[in-house]
């Protein structure tokens, strides 16, 4: 017998491509077969990169040199200023590290910090697999529907108490993927008290902070400045997921972590693409056109999220209306008996039957750390033409609240997808 060529390290043997990418591929395959598919699986911004930022990329296409590992100085400065203005974060340029998407930076942070990963359930799909690759232990902390699926200070303390001297890395994400929910200042302050008491390092993943629908985002760094690393990027608020630009802001107390990260970055990705970094400076200048773009993005997402929350509640689901971002996390538990008659007992089976019978692609709650037999799913309400929607808003008063008619006009096919899903729920016997 000949020896195999490949010898995978144990930690990646059971890894599969990220669930969000897999659903996208499956939806594309169904489309290729001629089926109508609504892509509510992948969490990609529906909006275009703002015109001024695109123009800046064109102007800088000739930039070809390697840039400093931690990022272009002008960009680090612009990011620091942006967060100072918006979140009151008191940082210096040297506290910012720029990377090729925040996903990569989160991975490197997990790599350099010798700790257990602590994450609420549900959480974004990639935190736990990253820990798995690194053979890090993960503590999932349970949350409840009634708390908006949010981590509570008590639940965090219960985990920390079990081993008070264990170094921990907590990743808190809000507005949240997959739930669409955010944290109040009181809730953040209570979590900060526990984190400080147990010296927990928090990565505050605030990548949806700019698309908080009510414009009420508050950074964790305000409550726990010495122990919080703020993580964000261009992907979600600037329509630029494919540009791959993310960053972290470190406090002085965590300088050794930042230095170790920069060392790993220098041996791996080296630096983010130069034209992208030069162009990104424009995005963080807070010009009136960027402010208008954000204002209108929030108006559309807020009105659409509201309508979806109402429609799914009417269809009998347990659901919170999202407070930010572009996700909603309905629980089909009230329909459990009817679904059982159809042989559906898990969130994975539920998303399959929904895709087959309505054409709506979405992700099962199990991908986000929920129990397999719970009937939660994540819907990304991004299947619409964001360029057209923003153009329309540009033609009406910026204070007019959007009606259901506006939403229907602006956001097909998402509206059609939600109607189909709601009617499917209503027709179950």
Binding residues (CB under 6 A) for ligand PLP: these are 43, 101-103, 124, 173, 177, 205, 207, 233, 235, 241, 246
CB of 130 to ligand PLP, least distance (A): 11
CB of 126 to ligand PLP, least distance (A): 7
Which residue number places its CB atom closest to ligand PLP? Answer: 101
Per the CB < 8 A criterion, the answer to whether 292 and 306 are in contact is no
- How far is 376 from 361, CA to CA, in rounded Å? 14
CB of 265 to ligand PLP, least distance (A): 14
Ramachandran assignment for 148, one of left (phi > 0), alpha (psi -120 to 50 degrees), beta (any other): left
Nearer to ligand PLP, 235 or 414 (CB): 235
Nearer to ligand PLP, 233 or 324 (CB): 233
* Angle separating helix axes 51-59 and 288-314, nearest 10 degrees: 130
CB of 282 to ligand PLP, least distance (A): 18
Residue 211 is inside which H or E element, if any?
none
Which residues pair with residue 339 across a beta bridge?
A: none
Nearer to ligand PLP, 169 or 339 (CB): 169
- How far is 264 from 365, CA to CA, in rounded Å? 33
Strand order in the sheet with 363-364: 327-328, 377-380, 363-364
Per the CB < 8 A criterion, the answer to whether 117 and 131 are in contact is yes
Kindly tell me the sign of the dihedral angle through the C-alpha atoms of 102, 108, 113, 118: positive
State how beta strands 116-121 and 168-173 pair: parallel
CB of 100 to ligand PLP, least distance (A): 8
Nearer to ligand PLP, 13 or 16 (CB): 16
CB of 325 to ligand PLP, least distance (A): 8
- How far is 259 from 76, CA to CA, in rounded Å? 16
Nearer to ligand PLP, 152 or 173 (CB): 173
Nearer to ligand PLP, 102 or 271 (CB): 102
CB of 127 to ligand PLP, least distance (A): 8
Buried b (16+ CB within 10 A) or exposed e, 376-398: bbbbbbbbbbbeebbebbeeeee
Nearer to ligand PLP, 246 or 413 (CB): 246
């Amino acid at each position: 017998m000949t020896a195999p060529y490949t010898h995978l390290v144990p930690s990646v043997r059971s890894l599969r491509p990220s669930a969000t990418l897999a659903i996208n591929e499956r939806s594309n395959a169904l489309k290729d077969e001629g089926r109508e598919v609504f892509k509510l699986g992948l969490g990609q911004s529906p909006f275009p990169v703002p015109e001024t930022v695109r123009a800046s990329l064109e102007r800088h296409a000739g930039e070809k040199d390697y840039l400093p590992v931690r990022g272009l100085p002008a960009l680090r400065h612009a990011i620091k200023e942006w967060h100072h203005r918006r979140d009151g974060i008191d940082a210096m340029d040297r506290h910012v590290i720029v990377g090729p998407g925040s996903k990569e930076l989160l991975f490197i942070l997990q790599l350099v910090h010798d700790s257990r990963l602590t994450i609420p359930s549900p959480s974004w799909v990639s935190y736990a697999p990253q820990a798995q690759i690194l053979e890090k232990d993960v503590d999932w902390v349970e949350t409840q529907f009634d708390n908006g699926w949010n981590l509570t200070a008590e639940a965090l303390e219960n985990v920390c108490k079990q081993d008070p001297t264990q170094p921990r890395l907590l990743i808190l994400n809000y507005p949240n993927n997959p739930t669409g929910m955010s944290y109040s200042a009181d809730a953040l302050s209570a979590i900060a008290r526990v984190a400080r008491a147990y010296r927990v390092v928090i990565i505050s993943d605030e990548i949806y902070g700019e698309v908080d629908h009510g414009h009420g985002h508050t950074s964790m760094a305000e409550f726990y400045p010495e122990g919080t690393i703020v993580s964000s990027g261009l992907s979600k608020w600037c329509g630029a997921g494919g540009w791959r630009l993310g960053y972290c802001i470190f406090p002085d107390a965590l300088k050794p972590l930042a230095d170790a990260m920069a060392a790993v970055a220098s041996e791996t990705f080296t630096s983010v693409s130069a034209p992208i970094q030069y162009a990104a400076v424009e995005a963080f200048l807070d010009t009136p056109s960027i402010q208008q773009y954000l204002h209108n993005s929030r108006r559309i997402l807020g009105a659409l999220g509201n309508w979806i929350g109402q429609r799914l509640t009417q269809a009998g689901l347990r659901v919170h209306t999202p407070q930010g971002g572009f996700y909603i996390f309905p629980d089909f538990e009230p329909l459990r008996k009817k679904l059982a008659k159809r042989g559906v007992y898990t969130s994975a089976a539920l998303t399959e039957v929904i895709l087959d019978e309505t054409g709506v692609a979405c992700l099962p709650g199990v991908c986000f750390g929920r129990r397999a037999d719970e009937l939660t799913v994540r819907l990304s309400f991004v299947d619409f033409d964001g360029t057209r929607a923003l153009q329309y808003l540009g033609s009406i008063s910026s204070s007019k609240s959007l009606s259901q008619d506006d939403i229907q006009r602006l956001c097909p096919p998402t509206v059609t997808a939600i109607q189909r899903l709601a009617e499917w729920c209503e027709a179950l016997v």
